Chains A and B, each alone.
Chain A
Amino acid sequence: MGVRDALAHLAGGAVAPVFAVAGGGAREAVAELALSPSVELVDSPAAASVLLVAGFLPSDLHTPLAALHDAMPDPRCTVSWPLGSDHGSMPLSSSRLRIGPDDEPVQAVTRAYRALLSGVVATEPPIQPDVDPNPWRGVGPYGQGGRGMTGGTPYGRPMAELGPDRDGLRLDVLPLSIGPFFPRFPAGLILDVVMAGDLVIEGRVADSPFGGGEWRPPVGPFVRALSEPVPVAEIELARARQHLRWASDALITQGLPAFAMRVRRLAVTLTPGHASSVRALSRRLRLLRVPQWSGAGVGRIAPELLTGLALGPVSRAAGLGEDARAADPAYAELGFEPIVARDGDAAARWDVRLAEAAQSLELAARARGQRTGGVGIVEGPRGRLGPDDSPFQRLQSLLPDLLAGLEWGDAVTALASLDLDPEEAGTVAARPSRAEAA
């Protein structure tokens, strides 16, 4: 074994830096993968050697995916993890590394990383041409491409426009399109913002790329309950799990990754007997003042704006008791009552979700074979689900007013507290055709 091989072998034993794209139906699987100590999910392609493409990606996201692939430094490889979806038309379909249904995903990823470093697998060539779309022109006294300090188009990109400032100044406003693979947002979420410094002047979330009808999503208990009665225990366990997954993601957003992993581990192993663990977690978070410090007064939505929107924990955190379960006889039998808070901000959403997670586990433990009765409308973890009607679409209209005037950090906290899920738009859009097929 030469020195080079020995070094490659040594480097291959390190934690694999992976940039994960969790497409449709893959968020849970990727979140579980992150629990392994041999894999590190990095926040930027510049820090990654392995690009993991999991689940379904609609065609609108293929070009950004190719750009993401090319932004990774050499050596790089792609591991595709279809999870039952069709990866056929993707720009990375030539990738030889694939995680099959019987493979152990952590092992497959670390094996790919080792093979890449030892040279068994060659680094992948770029998909897009290596041509600078905005070449450096080197014109003008500062090389900025034109006359004056900010004149011209440095690197071929236009300069930001001027806009009014709170203090009566006219300064630059920067339009940015964040996503669809921004690590703090779910894959597919595109946030169009106009920033002045770190202040959001305007913000809107683009339509979900999953809503185009391309996707045949896996049918979870909530979607199944739209057309058939589902055991209350099953649906409530799924709800508690989703709330804990949200808490784990929100903790990563707040810069507490180790705590987030503990919550995620609890979400993976959750059973109806874990209600006391969830309550203990809630107490601990309150003791550490995580929700209060990050979310008190942030992303507040007035109850009158939410009336009738049935946005689940977001509505209930603002004091509205809207919950489709309240009208279901099966839940009435179990003594269900909606949990509400008053403040309507990100901190109140923390409280409501954690209290609901514990309540769901208690309901699941008490349920003796009861099944949901409200066919057609279901209370999902993010609000009312109906055919062609998802909480994501209803939330979109509220976001411009919510985001305007927030600092960037608060804007991310506010968006994270809403638990936006672009996949949901595709899930309910695909639902009627599934019912017809059945």
Chain B
Amino acid sequence: MLGPMGVTLAVFVGSLVVVLGLWMTGRDPRPRSAPESVPFIGGRPPAVHAWSRYHARYHVMALVFLAFDMEMVYMYPWAVVFVREGPIAMVEMGMFITILLLGILYAWREQVFEWA
């Protein structure tokens, strides 16, 4: 009788009621007091604000990952022509990967993979 749209609407409204109900029951009925809002680091209040800038060293690792991800993209067209081109394609890809590998060794020496 309702049709697909009606069923979808019913599911949507039902979900909305469930989510709102859960939200209402989980809601704190009163605002948190000042001592409750202090971040817990063992019982003493923090001396400075936690809003601080630090060196996110893992971003260099993310860049290295992206470089190798792109390398895989180049491998797809190479795989298509690999049989036709024969051993020369193998050698060319070997050279490409060796150059990237040298990059990895350089990054390793520069302590890129150490997060601390």
Query: In whole Å, how far is A322's beta carbon from the nearest beta carbon of chain B?
Result: 32
Q: Is the interface of B mostly helix, strand, loop or mixed?
A: loop
Select which of B37, B41, B51, B54 is within 8 A of A159 by beta carbon: B51
**The stretch of A60-68, A88-96, A389-397 that contacts the partner chain:** A60-68
Q: Which residues of A contact B44 (CB under 8 A)?
A: 64, 67, 177, 179-180, 190
Interface size class of B (residues with CB under 8 A): 20 to 34
In the complex, the chain B residue whose C-beta lies closest to that of A135 is B34
A104 at the interface (CB under 8 A from B): no
Chain A residues, CB < 8 A from B48:
157-160, 174-175
Specify which chain A residues have a CB less than 8 angstroms from the CB of B115 in the assembled complex: 198, 407
B45 contacts A133, C-beta separation under 8 Å: yes
- Complex: how many Å from CA A407 to CA B55? 13
Is residue A155 contacting chain B, with contact meaning CB distance below 8 A?
A: yes
| B43 x A181 contact (CB < 8 A) | yes
- Residue A165, interface by CB 8 Å: yes
Q: How far is the CA of A402 from the CA of B50 in the complex (A)?
A: 25
- Given A155-B49, A175-B48; A167-B35 close (CB under 8 Å): no
Are A178 and B53 in contact, with the CB atoms below 8 A? no
* In contact, A160 and B46 (Cβ under 8 angstroms): no
Distance from A384 Cβ to chain B, minimum over Cβ atoms (Å): 29
Is the pair B43, A65 in contact by a Cβ cutoff of 8 Å?
yes
Taking the nearest CB of chain B, how far is it from the CB of A91, in angstroms? 12
Residue with the highest number of chain A CB atoms closer than 10 Å, among B28, B35, B44 = B35
Most chain-B Cβ atoms within 10 A of its Cβ — which of A131, A157, A179?
A157
B42 touches A178 (CB 8 A): yes
Minimum distance in angstroms from B29 CB to a CB of chain A: 9
From known contacts A71-B40, A178-B41, A180-B43, infer whether A126 and B49 are also in contact, taking CB-CB under 8 Å. no
Does B49 lie within 8 Å of A177, measured CB to CB?
no
Bound Cα distance from A405 to B115, whole angstroms: 11
- Please give me the residue from chain B that is nearest to A68 by CB atom: B43
Return the contact of A153 from the options B37, B49, B50, B52 (Cβ within 8 A).
B49
Q: What does the 1/0 interface line of B31-67 toward A look like (CB < 8 Å)?
A: 0111111101111111111111111110000000000
- Given A73-B32, A157-B48, A407-B116: A132 and B37 within 8 A (CB)? yes
CB distance from A93 to the nearest CB of B (A): 18
Chain A residues 58-98 with CB under 8 Å of chain B are: 61, 64-65, 67-68, 70-74
CA distance A166 to B54 in the complex (A): 11
Contact check, A64 vs B43: say whether CB atoms are below 8 A apart: yes
CB of A203 within 8 A of chain B? no
| Given contact pairs A178-B42, A197-B56, A158 touches B34 in the complex (Cβ within 8 A) | no
Q: Nearest 9 pairs between A and B by C-beta?
A: A64-B43, A197-B54, A70-B35, A172-B52, A182-B42, A132-B34, A179-B42, A157-B49, A181-B43
> What are 15 of the A-B contact pairs (CB < 8 Å)?
A61-B43, A71-B38, A73-B32, A74-B30, A130-B34, A132-B34, A132-B37, A157-B49, A158-B48, A176-B46, A177-B46, A180-B42, A190-B44, A198-B116, A407-B115
- 7 further A-B contacts with Cβ under 8 Å, apart from A71-B40, A157-B47, A179-B42, are A73-B32, A158-B49, A171-B52, A172-B53, A179-B44, A182-B43, A190-B44
